Every structure is written in C-alpha cells, then in structure tokens.
Structure 1
Amino acid sequence: MSRTVYLNGAYVPEEEAKVSVFDRGFLFADGVYEVTAVLDGKIAEFEGHVARLKRSLGELGMSMPVDSDELLAIHHELIKRNNLQEGAIYLQVTRGAADRDFVFPKEATQTLVLFTQAKDLTSEKAGIKVISIPDIRWGRRDIKTVQLLAPSMGKMMAKAEGKDDAWMVEDGFVTEGTSNNAYIVTKNGKIITRNLSNSILHGITRAAVLRLAAELDMEIEERPFTIAEAQDAAEAFITAATIFVCPVVEIDGAAINNGVPGPISKRLNDVYIEEARKAAC
C-alpha cells in the first residue's frame, strides 16, 4: 500500500507528493533534516531532535516552519495514517522554491516534508564491518544538512568492498561514520568517542548513550582516536537514531573482539532501547 506523506500542510499519497524543480533543496542542498525512531508506535528522543533541528535551521538563517507542538502532532498523524509500529520518520526542511541564484531569497516559503519508513530497530545486532576513508566533507558537519553526497559515496565504497560502512578520517583521526557517531572501548573498559565540535554531528543518540553509560558507572573519554587505536581496541560501536548502539566487529580487515559483538555495546543497546521505550511520546 502507498504511504501517506506530509507535504506543506497536506497529507497526500506518496505518489502525489511533488516538490518544485526550483526548490533550493534540489538545486543547492539548501536544507536540513532529522530522523526520529518510532518504537511501539511512539516517537523516541523527540525533544532532542527538535532542539537540533532548530539549531541547524538557525545556523543557515532559517526559522522553524511550524512550532514544536504542531510538529509533534504531524509525527503522530503520520504514525496513525501509516500504522507504523517500529521504524523511522524522516523530516526535511528546505529554504523553498525560487529561481536559481546563489544569493538565496529571504522571503521564500519553506518546504516541509515528512514520511515514514518501517524498519526493524530492536533485533539483536550481529555487528558491522567498516573501512576507513578520507573525510572530504565541508567544514560544518555539526549542521544536519542534506549535503550527503560524500557520506553516500563512502558507504558505497564500503559496499563495493563487501563491507557495511565507512569511518571517515581527517588529519589522522576518525571523525565519524557515514551516518553515525563512532566509538571504541579500550582494554580497560573506557569508552572513547570524539569530542563535540564542527567536525562531527552532535548526535541525539550519542548524547543519550553517553548519559546512560555514565549512569552505569562506565568511564568515558571524549577525544579523537586513530584507526590503529581502534583496531587494537577491545570493542568498537556506532550510534544513530535508527540503529541505536550497533557493534563494529571489523575495521580495515582487522577483527575487533575476535569478530563478535562485545558486552559493553550489547549492554548499552539493551539499556538504550529500554529507556527509549519508557520515554517515547
């Protein structure tokens, strides 16, 4: 059956959801996006995603197209209309449609699109294999823009080698995965992940997982790490809105934890899902 999509104030069949060829999201990647997880028909981490959406829009000189309450109501209506129990809701805001010009218009009407994707989010994870690639993205990775060509190419490079994903490297250090934040666990059990800056996306799941890890008395250090350090780690994992905590079992051909998920990543994933279910709205 066709999904129902939200487009600029209307709920329409996906086949009828059309955006102008002059939309600046299409012409310039002039827009931002968010992805929220849906568990048991409820939305996980909604407030965190809205806060980041407001920040991303503000960094590009854009405002919220609707307020938080209306945005939540749209999410709930899409879940209802698409009978979504587990999966994700994708949201995109662009500056809107205008004749092509690098100087963007100040009065254009923004384009707001949301759609659902049914996905299995909670099954046990076998772990993924990653390769390392140069990080060639622009300098404001903290803004969740729709400029995703470099990460997309990176993921395709990994697939071409029979792997699952790529970790991007800049100045000798891992920044993040193509669509996720990256972590290692040292042999003495310390969780290492890159500190927040313009170099990485400020992950909503990242923040929640680090908070839960601290509550579990796990030691955390926020700093850059190298591929060699990752290959020598006891565990490695990634986090993102629709994968939660996923083990990494191989990096550039080197097996991590003998190629099987480790106990810390599994524990954090279980605790995150439990807490996300409780707090979902």
Structure 2
Amino acid sequence: MSLPNLLWALIAFTYIGSGMAQTVTQTPSVISVQEGKAVILNCKYSTRVTIYYLHWYKQSPNGEMIFLIYQDYFSTKNARKERYSVNFQKADSSIRLTISDLQLEDSSVYFCALDEPQTGVSDKLIFGSGTSLTVLPNIQNPEPALYQLTSPKSSDTSVCLLTDTDSYNTTFKNENTNGSNPTVLEMMTMESKSYGAVAWGSKSTFNCTDAFNLQNLVNLTHPSGSTCNVKDVKQSFETDKDLNLINLSLIGLRIIFLKTVAFNLLMTFRLWSN
C-alpha cells in the first residue's frame, strides 16, 4: 500500500474509532418512585479523551434542558447540590445521580451528558437516551367516589368523574370511551392528595361503571383493615344563572372603575401641563 493511501486509512480509522468510542448509556429508561423517597439514576459512558466533565440535565415540559449538577473528571469528591448528589466512579466509567426527598414536580426526563472540551470551539456534549421519572403521590386514606353527571337537556351526554383514588392504573374498559389520563389532585386546604380521572360519552347506554376499570378500587383495603367501596352517584348539572349575573355585574363595575382612574389621570396630566 502506498504512503498516501496508508495515511488516509489511518485518518479514517482514527475518526471512526473515536466516534464509536463516545457513548453514554442510561438505565433504566422508565422508573416510578413514591413521593418523599430517593431515586438513583444510572449512567455509563465511554470516551477516548483524558479531560472531560459529566453533567445531569432535567427536561422541562416545554423541552428546555435545565442544568442540575456536574462532576469534574479529576475530582475525588462527589458533587452535591441541594437534593441532587452524584456517585462518580472513574475506573468503572459510571456516574449515578441520586435525587432525595422526591417531590411531585420532580417528574420529568433526566439526561446524562458527557462534556468533551475542545480547544477553540464549543464543548462537545454527548447525551444519553434519558430516564423518564414519575413521582407517585403519597396518598393517605383514599375514599374513591364515582360521579356521573348528566345534562338535563340531553340524556345522551354524560361525564364521569372518578376522584380520591390511590391507584394510577385507572384504565378505560371500553376503547371507544373518551377520557383523560389520571391526574394528581392536590387539596391544600385538606392537606391531602389523590388521583382523579374524567371520562365522557355521548350515548344513552353510556355508563360510568363500564367506563373505568375499577377492580383495583372495589376491594381497596385501608391500613385499618376496613374495605372501601366505590360509590356511584348520579346527578344533573346546569349553569347557575344567578352566578353568571353576578360575574357580569363585577366585570361592569371593574370597567367603570378603570375608566374613572383613566379620566382622573388625564385631568391631572392636563393640570400639570398648564
């Protein structure tokens, strides 16, 4: 092989080899942990450079990457910041992120990133695939209740409200049923939390007990040993006309008040000008 061809082969091998060596792997991909407890997110990396840094990011609902904590390659002390701490094992090419005292707002996707500084250009960040963390609320003494709201004008329209459950796995029996994903209901005045879900249908045969999968709720047992049964309540709903009239009156009074303030400001400005 001629010298030029040998040089090109060496350059290509070096480029491909270095590209294959730079990897970041995160486990597990999905994890659920109870509120108030701690969670450990694993990350392993591989790199051919000697100078590097390791970062952890949290992705916000709008897609923004929020920086949490980082670790130097040369540091023998593990980084710590508020509820975040890392366990860096250089010999094992791994770094673990521990989040203590989990809160509901910690539910997000977390990314591990390898930072390779490059002279004269921006640092090269290599991200892992991410770990989706779901924080489950700590629900005390749930009392599940199922409400079916029907319109007085049309018996074909019904809305089902399932409240105060401790199970996230509230699925819909009928695939044609419209509904929302279980949502955490936080009642600050009562200092309690629970799950709730909504389903709706537009047929007269639509029934709330057939909409949700309630097998985990009917035989729900409290720590005291008592059995909690799901209640099925039907009631009509309609708009309160008196409440609407009061709201409109308040809006009108606010408009009059704003006009009065604007008029007074205008007159004051004219007096100052003169």
TM-score bracket, normalised by the shorter chain, equals: under 0.3
Q: TM-score, normalised by structure 2?
A: 0.21
Instruction: Indicate the structure whose relative CO is greater, using CA pairs within 8 Å and at least 6 residues apart.
Output: 1
Q: Which of the two has greater helix per residue?
A: 1
Choose 1 or 2 for highest CA Rg: 2
Q: TM-score, normalised by structure 1?
A: 0.21
